Amino acid sequence: MDKILLIDDDKSLAKLLQEYLEGEGLNVTLAYDLKQGLDIFPDKDFDLIILDVMLPDGNGFDIIPKIRKQSWTPILMLTARGDEVDRIIGLELGADDYLAKPCSPRELFARIKALLRRSRIQALETNQNIFENGRLKLIINTREVFSNKKIMVLTGTEFNLLLELMKQTAQLVTRDFLSQQVLGRRLTAFDRSIDMHISNLRKKLHLGQDNLPDIKTVRGAGYILTKIEEVPDA
């Protein structure tokens, strides 16, 4: 049974979501503030965390770096509807996906299933364990990424997104394909989550510099990870 940590100070909503999700076969633990969430998190091997942005003892964003120091557990942020700034900040700090509130329990469950499914099968989709392109290296078994021999810290979603691009180096990969493969869902009209993750990858990995490939945007279509044909000796 998958174990979920739900951190939300709206007790009535949290209990409603808990009841629904447990009816779908999940084991849901509730926390109503940041402190309680941080106290509970290390004690159980959670499969996914649902995190509200606005909490009584601080901002939900504050907990993401602390979690990432301990675990790559997928994080689903609950944000105010239409608040793009919250979504961008959450993804940059290490959240894997977001859902606008108010949301239906059914929609939340669908997002949870998609994130859990992608986190488990990504490494099984290819027999190749190591991908290299210029001075960018990705190792599936250890889920490590090296940029110019320096290990980089990526979220689970960023790692999976980079893997999909590296598997199809120098080829156009559509935004909808990436969303389905990495997030487990089709893109909606105004969904910019893949674009935000791509932007984070460019910044974190310093792509396009120092014998590193770049991610080129094909307007209205998707992205291409460029191929570094030859790397000079270090």
CA 111 – CA 184 distance, rounded (Å): 8
Helices (H), the chain: 11-23, 34-40, 64-68, 84-93, 105-121, 156-167, 175-178, 193-205
CATH number assigned to the domain comprising residue 88:
3.40.50.2300
Q: Are residues 133 and 113 in the same domain?
A: no
Q: Are residues 116 and 140 in the same domain?
A: no
Burial class (CB in 10 A: 0-12, 13-18, 19+), 33: middle
Closest CA to 183 of 97, 74, 87: 97
CA 68 – CA 187 distance, rounded (Å): 26
Q: Are residues 150 and 109 in the same domain?
A: no
Cα atoms in the 13 Å half-sphere on the side-chain side of 188 = 3
Instruction: Establish if 211 belongs to a structural domain.
Output: yes
Instruction: Establish if 206 belongs to a structural domain.
Output: yes
Last residue of a domain, one of 102, 120, 138: 120
Instruction: Establish if 43 belongs to a structural domain.
Output: yes
Q: Are residues 167 and 188 in the same domain?
A: yes
Instruction: Establish if 182 belongs to a structural domain.
Output: yes
pLDDT of residue 141: 79
Instruction: Establish if 230 belongs to a structural domain.
Output: no
Q: Are residues 199 and 214 in the same domain?
A: yes
Q: Are residues 97 and 14 in the same domain?
A: yes
**pTM score, two decimals?**
0.66
Instruction: Establish if 231 belongs to a structural domain.
Output: no
List the pLDDT tens digit at each of the 234 positions of the chain. 899 999 999 999 999 999 999 999 999 999 999 999 989 988 788 999 999 988 999 888 888 888 887 777 889 998 876 567 777 788 888 888 888 888 889 999 999 998 888 766 654 555 578 899 999 999 987 888 999 889 998 888 899 999 999 999 999 999 999 998 888 888 887 888 899 999 999 999 999 888 899 999 999 899 999 998 866 655
Q: Are residues 84 and 18 in the same domain?
A: yes
pLDDT of residue 190: 81
pLDDT of residue 123: 44
Work out how many domains the chain is built from and give that number: 2
CA 143 – CA 135 distance, rounded (Å): 17
Q: Are residues 110 and 138 in the same domain?
A: no
Instruction: Establish if 51 belongs to a structural domain.
Output: yes
pLDDT of residue 231: 63
Contact indicator for 111, 152 with CB cutoff of 8 Å? no
Q: Are residues 40 and 147 in the same domain?
A: no
CA 221 – CA 230 distance, rounded (Å): 28
Contact indicator for 173, 162 with CB cutoff of 8 Å? no
- 44: CB partners within 8 A, 6+ apart: 3, 5, 29
Q: Are residues 24 and 11 in the same domain?
A: yes
CATH number assigned to the domain comprising residue 184:
1.10.10.10
CA 190 – CA 192 distance, rounded (Å): 6
For residue 82, give its domain range: 3-120
pLDDT of residue 126: 52
pLDDT of residue 232: 60
Last residue of a domain, one of 88, 120, 152: 120
Q: Are residues 149 and 187 in the same domain?
A: yes
Neighbours of 221 (CB within 10 A): 12
**In a 3-state reduction of DSSP, which class is residue 89?**
helix
